[in-house]
Amino acid sequence: MLFSIEDNKDKPRVEGAVKGIKIWVLAALRHERFYTLADLNDAIKLKLIKYNRTPFQKMEGNRESKYHEEKLFLLPLPRCPFELAEWKTATVQKDYHVKCGPQYYSVPHDYIGKKVDVRATRHTVEVFYENMRICSHHRVDGFRDKYITEPLHMPDSHRKHGEWNGERFRAWAKKAGPCTLACVEYFLSSAKIEEQSYKTCNALLHLSDKHTAERLEKACEYVLSFTPRPSYKAVDGVLRSAQNLLADKARNEDVLEHGFIRGAEYYGGNGNAD
């Protein structure tokens, strides 16, 4: 939870200290000249010592004695220097990533569709949900539209595809034939980033499990014959049409084989075949 200085009961004390320093230090030294930074710091130090040892007006002690009373309760300074941070609100996308700068960083898939707070420093990217940090990444620079994905953030159904890469799809497509390879090459090169095409490549190559690699190759060849921009939908449509044609042909052959066509004897009846 964040608090502003207006909500802090110590605000008057802070403002009083600032006013005192202006009077005891800045105002007192305003007419003096210093020719080195060390001389200026020494003069400021003497004024601060005098200011801190001046008794309080409404209570016992002074600022120096109060400091020694509270010193035991002070926390040590952070080991790392303070870093400026940029905050933004984002919605976790369906691919369980949020955009921070020109890159995309993964979030546990359970938070898909949730509003989250993203804190970005020079070195890290942290994601918070309801003030609780749910993940952090080392910030990546120098790449645009790059996906930084932690495997543990992926659904179980996606983890098994963690080793997908362009060369693997090219080798797989090459076994089916040159036209299948040409389609895969187009998918890989036309995506803004190669990783975004992996799902399409995988779906295309799995058509060989349903229709055989030979039929997939012929379908890709047919699609490439009328467009230089093949799509999974077009190849799948050709295969479905061919499958329907084969099914219709099989039904027609079955009709002829079993003689479902009525002959002249049926229509003539009672010897009236004319």
Shared-domain flag, residues 190 and 152: no
Q: Quick one: pLDDT at residue 224?
A: 94
Shared-domain flag, residues 62 and 97: no
Q: Is residue 81 part of a domain?
A: no
Shared-domain flag, residues 195 and 227: yes
Q: Is residue 65 part of a domain?
A: yes
* Residue 255 pLDDT class (50, 70, 90 cuts): very low
Shared-domain flag, residues 51 and 134: no
Task: Tell whether the model's pLDDT for residue 260 goes beyond 50.
Answer: no
Shared-domain flag, residues 177 and 252: yes
135-174 pLDDT tens trace = 999 998 877 778 888 888 877 755 555 567 788 899 999 9
CB hemisphere CA count around 132 (13 angstroms): 3
Q: How far apart are CA 208 and CA 82, in angstroms?
A: 56
Q: Which of 123-137, 199-213, 217-231 has the lowest mean pLDDT?
A: 199-213
Shared-domain flag, residues 63 and 96: no
Global pTM reads: 0.43
Q: Is residue 3 part of a domain?
A: no
Shared-domain flag, residues 99 and 118: yes
Q: Tell the residue number behind the tokens 């479905």, with chain if given.
A: 240
Q: Quick one: pLDDT at residue 158?
A: 59
Q: Is residue 23 part of a domain?
A: yes
Q: Quick one: pLDDT at residue 180?
A: 95
Contacts 24+ apart (CB under 8 A), 86-89: 86/119, 86/120, 86/121, 87/117, 87/118, 87/119, 87/120, 88/117, 88/118, 88/120, 89/115, 89/116, 89/117, 89/118
Q: Which of 157, 179, 211 is the endpoint of a domain?
A: 157
Alpha helices in the chain (DSSP H): 11-21, 28-29, 37-52, 63-70, 156-159, 166-176, 178-190, 198-205, 207-211, 213-226, 232-258, 264-268
Q: Is residue 95 part of a domain?
A: yes
For 234-245, what is the mean pLDDT? 82
61-120 pLDDT tens trace = 998 998 899 888 988 888 888 889 999 999 998 888 999 988 899 999 999 999 999 999
Shared-domain flag, residues 48 and 100: no
Shared-domain flag, residues 177 and 235: yes
Q: Which of 43, 73, 103 is the endpoint of a domain?
A: 73
Q: Report the CATH number at residue 143.
A: 2.40.50
Question: Based on the structure, what is the number of domains in the chain?
Answer: 3
Would you say 143 and 103 are in contact if contact means Cβ atoms under 8 Å apart? Answer: yes
CB hemisphere CA count around 71 (13 angstroms): 7
Q: Quick one: pLDDT at residue 77?
A: 85
**Of residues 21, 70, 69, 29, the one with CA closest to residue 49:** 21
For 123-127, what is the mean pLDDT? 94
For 174-179, what is the mean pLDDT? 94
Beta bridge partners of 87: 119
Q: Quick one: pLDDT at residue 243?
A: 64
Q: Is residue 29 part of a domain?
A: yes
Would you say 122 and 83 are in contact if contact means Cβ atoms under 8 Å apart? Answer: yes
Q: Which of 127, 157, 187 is the endpoint of a domain?
A: 157
Residue range of the domain that includes 249:
166-258
* Residue 8 pLDDT class (50, 70, 90 cuts): low
Query: What are the structure tokens assigned to 92, written together?
Result: 């976790």
Q: Is residue 153 part of a domain?
A: yes
Q: How far apart are CA 13 and CA 220, in angstroms?
A: 78
